[in-house]
Amino acid sequence: MALQVFRTKRSQDWLLLVLAVALFAAPWALGFAGDRRPAWNACVVAVLLAYLACASLSEFKAWEEWVTLALGAWLVAAPWALGFAADIRAAQTHWILGALTMLVSLWAEWAFRHARLGPPAA
């Protein structure tokens, strides 16, 4: 059973790594690299997400999922907090990738909690 959790967890960490790469590339791919606030925010959060995904791939720690969830929430709030909500490409990128990051983090935490409890007793 622990091996199954590890396999599932690895797929979630790989998804987070893909989201981090997408977030890092987004300012150039979507044309908002000239605006420093969303571009820097995207790059910094992408590096943090990539670090957490890689760290989690090597050794699982439950706190990493909560930090990843917080980073996803920050991505959703950042357009308003940093004042670039009017830049629709940058804002939508942050909202979508933030929501996806939160979903993957919650999925990983849910899978970890339910696998730890084990199957229901017959």
pLDDT, position 24: 97
pLDDT, position 120: 52
Residue range 7-45, pLDDT digits in tens: 545 788 899 999 999 999 999 999 898 889 999 999 999
pLDDT, position 27: 95
Name the least confident of 6-15, 80-89, 95-104.
6-15
Q: 88-102 burial, b for 16+ CB within 10 Å, e for fewer? A: ebbbebbbbbbebbb
| 11 or 81: which leads in pLDDT | 81
Instruction: Give 35's contacts (C-beta < 8 A, 6+ positions apart).
Output: 84, 87, 90
pLDDT, position 9: 59
Alpha helix positions (H), 1-122: 2-29, 36-58, 62-81, 88-117
H or E element that contains 84: none
- Residue 114 in tokens: 């339910």
Backbone dihedral region for residue 120 (phi beyond 0: left; psi -120 to 50: alpha; all else: beta): beta
pLDDT, position 115: 64
Integer Cα distance of 3 and 55 in angstroms: 18
Per-residue DSSP letter, 122: -
pLDDT, position 121: 52
pLDDT, position 6: 46
